[in-house]
Structure 1
Amino acid sequence: MTYSLEQLRGFIAVAEELHFGRAAVRLRMTQPPLSRQIQKLEAAVGVQLLERDNRRVRLTPAGHAFLNEARRILAIAEAAPALAQRVSSGMRGVLKLGFTSASTFGHLGRILDYLNLELPEVHIELFEMVTREQIDALTAGDIDLGLARPPFDPELFESRLLHREALLLAVHEDHPLADLRRAVVPADLVREPLIFHSQQKARYFYDLVVSMVPLAQERIIHTVSQVMTMLWLVSRGRGVAFVPESAGMIAVPHVEYLRIDTPIPEPVELHVLWPRKSDNPALPRAISALSFMMH
């Protein structure tokens, strides 16, 4: 079955006008070529679509059914170039965004709202990953953009600082440290059981805590990769944990957040990260839109 878009346009015009002469005028052509178009279309479809005599033109039952499909096919065909142009320009398409679980505390929602406002026709697919997994996925082209923790290879990636915040200590509400009227210092933690970040899956926080707050490694009783898991362990009295300040937005029962005396007041960084080479035309537009947020 082979028919052309011109044949579909001719059929639709005749079906709507129910008159070959008026349909020909509408299409700015003469009647004989239009009649030949309809004959070729019926031959291609294999059924009679129109009943015509010297007085009138009528749609057959098959013609009625075919008219709806012809309109749909023609609408898709006519919209296709504009769609391709919008995808090519980055105005429409799909953007795959990786994010750490901790970046959901206030930042991810704000980014999604902003992208939806600036690029409403770009669909955002979300992938929760630790930073190491994001780097692997960006390298493989499985995601386009990441919300991740430094450091990054500048030869492979571009990045921009999105947010900086303090490091806090999460403790059970009944813990003696909860009554301190000052910032926690390393000496306060010498005998405390620690819920620590995984050195493999949460290397950024592991290195950050060790550099900011030197601790005895033998005090680590649990090692996990997600902040939410840490907070629930703290709520059960399993130990204390170091978390980004934004984690305080989560109302985990029986958990309080204490200031820590660190050499840098806001040492925790979150970056927007993307590959230097990408085939996704929506990525440059997304970066451009987010640049206003990151100033």
Structure 2
Amino acid sequence: MFTFDQLAGFIAVAEELHFGRAAERLNMTQPPLSRQIQRLEKIVGTELLERDNRKVELTHAGKAFLEEARRLMALAERAPVAARRIASGRSGLLRIGFTAASGFSILGPLLEEIAGILPDVDVDLQELVTGEQINGLLTGQLDLGLARPPFDTEAFDSHLLYRESILLAVPSGHRLAGLKRSITHADLIDERIIMHSASDARYFYDLVVRLMPIRHENVVHTVSQILTMVSLVAAKRGVAFVPHSAKVLGIQGVEFLDLAGGEGEPVELHAIWRRKVENPALRRLLKELSFGLE
């Protein structure tokens, strides 16, 4: 295989079309430069230059090889720069998992911050439930998650990004909206409930059943996504417990009501990552965002 010194020598001769000037440009004498070109031609398997006592010219093969030689030299020059940029976290790839509901609240602003801090880092987004994000982080398929608690604090470090309340979504004009007060459990006894899946939306399911006793016979639909839930409310299929950020969906035909005892902000969203940070881009981001890294 040829060396970069041989490529540099060939490029100099091809551009100068003169061995003496090319040698001077490379700060070497002409005989070793001539030997470099001869060895290169032997490796390539064809003549790259036509030379006699009066002139030097590129062969057809030499012209083609010159373009590739320049490309290889450019890559060789860029490679150390690229490696240093990746090592410093200024370029590379950041893989982020996010829950669908986080897209209503924090995802957009966070991506804007990331773009400002790491403008040359590619961001790969994957919509995943919290359990899938945790698996992705543990297997190295994700660098950062936007997830719901609980998670293993021994394995993961985290930063609380967002807290919000739970509201009751009802069809526009629903009788509960006419009460003009916070909704109680007694108000829901005869209501059809669109409920969170106990398996695929466990976080919201647990929050809701702690807040309001849910009668199983009232549940008419079980879903895992907030968007689906609000769409079913708009279709007058029932009422649903949703995070405050669901308001930004702007789905027509839905009103959002406060819940009695739901004045706090129990819905949490955390940025989570493995305690041993291996991706330099993630390390740089966490430092810039003051997420706890020194």
What range is the shorter-chain TM-score in? over 0.9
- The one-letter code of the counterpart of 1:114 is E
1:142-174: CA deviation from partner (whole Å, max 9, x where unpaired): 211110111111111111100111211111113
Contact 1:115/1:289 (8 A) holds in 2: no
Is residue 148 of structure 1 aligned with residue 147 of structure 2? yes
* Secondary structure in 2 matching 1:37: helix
Q: 1:263 offset after TM fit, Å?
A: 4.6
Distance 2:73 2:57 in 1: 21
Q: Are the equivalent residues in 2 in contact too, given 1:95–1:125 (CA < 8 A)?
A: yes
Runs of 5+ unmatched residues, structure 1: none
Q: How many residues align?
A: 292
Residue 261 of structure 1 deviates from its aligned partner by 2.6
CA distance in 2, matches of 1:134, 1:219: 32
What TM-score results when the alignment is normalised by the length of structure 1? 0.94
Asked if the contact 1:131–1:149 (Cα under 8 Å) also holds between the matched residues in 2, the reply is yes
2:128: which partner in 1? Answer: 129
Tell me the residue number matched to 2:71: 72
Q: In the alignment, does 2:55 pair up with 1:42?
A: no
Q: How does 1:254-273 map to 2 (within 5 A)?
A: 254-273=253-272
Task: After TM superposition, give the deviation of residue 175 of structure 1 in Å.
Answer: 1.4
Report the CA distance between 1:223 and its aligned residue.
1.1
Partner of 1:157: 156
* Runs of 4+ more than 6 Å apart: none
- Asked if the contact 1:194–1:239 (Cα under 8 Å) also holds between the matched residues in 2, the reply is yes
CA contact (8 A) 1:131 1:202 kept: no
1:256 is paired with a residue of what secondary structure? strand
Partner of 1:291, secondary structure, is: coil
- Of stretches 200-209 and 85-94 in structure 1, the one that deviates more from structure 2 is 85-94
Equivalent in the alignment of 2:286 = 287
Identity %: 57
Unaligned runs of 5+ in 2: none
Counterpart in 2 of 1:237? Answer: 236
One-letter code aligned to 1:21: G
TM superposition shift of 1:277: 2.7
Could you tell me whether the CA contact under 8 Å between 2:166 and 2:262 is conserved in 1? no
Which residue of structure 2 lines up, in the alignment, with residue 111 of structure 1?
110
TM-score for both structures, normalised by structure 2: 0.94
Cα distance in 2 for residues equivalent to 1:277 and 1:209:
34
Separation in 2, partners of 1:159, 1:215: 32
Decide which moves more: 134-143 or 63-72.
134-143
Q: Deviation at 1:278?
A: 4.1
Quote the offset at 1:286 in angstroms.
2.2
Question: Which residue matches 2:85?
Answer: 86
Do the aligned partners of residues 263 and 231 (structure 1) sit closer, same or farther apart at CA in structure 2, a change above 3 Å counting? closer
1:178 aligns to 2:177 (yes or no): yes
2:101 is paired with a residue whose SS is helix
Secondary structure at the aligned position of 2:126 is classed as strand
> What's the secondary structure of 2:97's corresponding residue?
strand
RMSD: 1.6
CA contact (8 A) 1:14 1:20 kept: yes
User: For 1:55-85, what per-residue CA distance to the aligned partner results, in whole angstroms no more than 9, with x for missing partners?
Assistant: 2211111111111100001111121122122
